[in-house]
C-alpha cells in the first residue's frame, strides 16, 4: 500500500466543514467521492484539521492509502479535473507508511481576516469579517502576544471539542494591519473546537482597554467559556498551513 499526502486549498462557503456528516456536503466526503471515481475503489482520506462550517483552507493536508500505481502528478491532475472549482489540490507526494496527516503534525496555523473600514465589500464578503469599528492593532497584538505559551484554553473552547486535554502550546499569536485588512495569525500544537474564533472575538472586545491583557489573563484563569467574548463568524477563518 502506498501512502499519498495531498495539500488542499478550498473555499468552505458551501460546505458543512471538513468532516463527513450524514445528509450534508463536506470537504472530506467530496474528496473521497472524487478519489473513488478515479481509483475505482472505496477510499478513506484523513485530514490534518477538522475545519468547521464555512471555514476555508489555504494549506489543509490529508493522506490516503492506495494500491494504485498512479504517479503523484497524475493524482493531482485527475483530482483537480474531478473536484468542484472551490476545492483545489495544490500538491501531491508519496510519503512514508507511518505518516498520518493529523497525528504526525507538529503545529497548525490559522489566519483570521477582518475587513476594517466604514463599508463592506462585495468581493471579499465570503472570506473576511466586516468590522467597521476602528481596531487598535497595537493593543490587539499586545493581547495576542500575552497568550503565547503553554496554557489551559478552556475559556475559549466550544462545547463538543474533540480534545479532552484543554492544554495547548501557542507558539505564535499576532495581529497586524495591511491597508483595510487586519489579520490575526495563531499557531499552536493543537486547537480546541472554536478556539481561534473565540480568541479573536475576545481580543476585539478588549483591544482598546488599558487593562486588556489583565482581563485576558483573568478569562484564561476562569476556565469558563462564558467569561470570554463572542466568537467571530467562521467565514473569516482559514487553515493556513500544517507543519510536520
User: Is 95 within 8 Å of 174 (Cβ atoms)?
Assistant: no
For the question of residue 221 being annotated catalytic, the response is no
Q: Where are the domains of the chain?
A: 2-95, 107-243
CA-based nearest residue to 187, from 220, 144, 223: 144
Q: What pLDDT score was predicted for residue 84? A: 98
The catalytically annotated residue of 11, 52, 98, 180 is 52
pLDDT of 14 > 90? The answer is yes
> If residue 191 lies in a helix (H) or strand (E), which one and from where to where?
none
Instruction: Give the confidence band of 212 by pLDDT, cuts at 50, 70, 90.
Output: confident
Region 167-175: mean pLDDT is 97
Q: What is the mean pLDDT of the chain?
A: 95
First to last CA, the chain: 22
pLDDT tens-digit readout, 116-139: 999 999 999 999 999 999 999 999
Look at the domain 107-243 and name its fold.
Answer: Alpha-Beta Plaits (3.30.70)
For 49, 75, 80, 217, the CA distances from 90, given in Å and listed in that order, are: 17, 11, 9, 40
Q: Where are the alpha helices (DSSP H) in 40-182?
A: 72-82, 137-145
Residue 196: all three cell numbers together: 481561534
The residue to which cell 474533540 is assigned: 162
Q: Which residues have CB under 8 Å from 160's CB, separation 6+?
A: 193
Residue 11 half-sphere exposure toward CB, CA atoms < 13 A: 11
Query: Could you tell me which residues are beta bridge partners of residue 187?
Result: 109, 172
Q: What pLDDT score was predicted for residue 158? A: 87
Helix (H, G, I), strand (E, B) or coil at 212: helix
pTM: 0.95
Fold agreement (2-95, 107-243): yes
Residue 211: all three cell numbers together: 487593562
Residue 209: all three cell numbers together: 482597554
CA-based nearest residue to 189, from 169, 167, 165: 169
Instruction: Give the confidence band of 225 by pLDDT, cuts at 50, 70, 90.
Output: very high
Q: Which residues have CB under 8 Å from 193's CB, separation 6+?
A: 52, 157, 158, 159, 160, 161, 162, 163
Q: What pLDDT score was predicted for residue 161? A: 65
Region 158-187: mean pLDDT is 91
Give, in words, the CATH class of 2-95. Answer: alpha beta
Pick from 37-51, 156-170, 191-205, 219-233: least confident: 156-170
Q: What pLDDT score was predicted for residue 209? A: 87
CA-based nearest residue to 190, from 217, 162, 216, 211: 162
Region 180-207: mean pLDDT is 96
Q: What pLDDT score was predicted for residue 162? A: 61
pLDDT tens-digit readout, 61-120: 999 999 999 999 999 999 999 999 999 999 999 999 999 999 999 999 999 999 999 999
User: Is 104 within 8 Å of 244 (Cβ atoms)?
Assistant: yes
Region 156-169: mean pLDDT is 83
**CA trace torsion 213, 217, 219, 222 (10° rounding):** -160
Amino acid at each position: 500500500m502506498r501512502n499519498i499526502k495531498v495539500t488542499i486549498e478550498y473555499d468552505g462557503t458551501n460546505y458543512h466543514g471538513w468532516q463527513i456528516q450524514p445528509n450534508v456536503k463536506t470537504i472530506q466526503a467530496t474528496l473521497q467521492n472524487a478519489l473513488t471515481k478515479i481509483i475505482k475503489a472505496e477510499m478513506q482520506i484523513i485530514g490534518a484539521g477538522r475545519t468547521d462550517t464555512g471555514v476555508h483552507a489555504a494549506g489543509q493536508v490529508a493522506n490516503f492509502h492506495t494500491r494504485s500505481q498512479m504517479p503523484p502528478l497524475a493524482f493531482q491532475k485527475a483530482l483537480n479535473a474531478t473536484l468542484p472549482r472551490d476545492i483545489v489540490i495544490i500538491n501531491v507526494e508519496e510519503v512514508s507508511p507511518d505518516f498520518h496527516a493529523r497525528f504526525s503534525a507538529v503545529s497548525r496555523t490559522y489566519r483570521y481576516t477582518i475587513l476594517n473600514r466604514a463599508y463592506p465589500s462585495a468581493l471579499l464578503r465570503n472570506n473576511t469579517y466586516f468590522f467597521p469599528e476602528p481596531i487598535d492593532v497595537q493593543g490587539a497584538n499586545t493581547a495576542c502576544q500575552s497568550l503565547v505559551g503553554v496554557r489551559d484554553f478552556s475559556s475559549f473552547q466550544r462545547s463538543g471539542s474533540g480534545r479532552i486535554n484543554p492544554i495547548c502550546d501557542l507558539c505564535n499569536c499576532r495581529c497586524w494591519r495591511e491597508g483595510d485588512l487586519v489579520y490575526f495569525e495563531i499557531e499552536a500544537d493543537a486547537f480546541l473546537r472554536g478556539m481561534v474564533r473565540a480568541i479573536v472575538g475576545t481580543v476585539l472586545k478588549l483591544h482598546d482597554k488599558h487593562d486588556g491583557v489583565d482581563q485576558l489573563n483573568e478569562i484564561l484563569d476562569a476556565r469558563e467559556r462564558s467569561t470570554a467574548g463572542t466568537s467571530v463568524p467562521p467565514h473569516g477563518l482559514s487553515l493556513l498551513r500544517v507543519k510536520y
